[in-house]
Amino acid sequence: MQWSLLLIFAMFVAVNVVYRRSTWPRRSFVAEYGFEPSDEVTVLDAADDASPSLVLRFPYWRHAQPDGTAVLRGSGNSPIRPRSTLVAGNYLFESHDPQVLYALATRLRRSGVSVPMCEEEATALRERGASEHLDGDEDFVLLSDELYEYYPKDLRP
């Protein structure tokens, strides 16, 4: 009898811990910033020593040709969708869709949250030239076709 009560209590604690970890960061984010991120975005608490960052990772094929398109011979070739990450404020955001995470980063910047440029933004800024760099109170935003350049042609949304 004692073991069964102990087992039930342990299961209750485990479920409670998992539930809190998965819902509390999202709820506190909504309370702090006044909007809810997409359901495709996982919201977690960032580590205390985490510095703000934005890393976009784009899908690719398990077996790809040199131009990034799928190899159609054989079976078992599927797209790999790595997680893109954003650390802003006290939160860590993860998503398999880099466009959704980039939209969230842009919205956070417009809310006054410091989000550094990702590698793709820095590349686009260099290509456009320093003369097009915006003032500190404006955002540098990648155009959708600039973002699509990083997808293999047959995986573009």
d(CA 18, CA 9): 14
Query: Domain tally for the chain?
Result: 1
Specify the pTM. 0.76
d(CA 103, CA 107): 6
d(CA 40, CA 93): 10
> 93 near 42, Cβ under 8 Å?
yes
Tell me: the pLDDT tens digits for 87-145?
A: 998 899 999 999 999 999 999 988 888 899 888 888 887 777 754 555 444 456 666 66
Structural domain span for residue 145? 38-155
Tell me: the pLDDT tens digits for 70-89?
A: 877 777 788 889 999 999 98
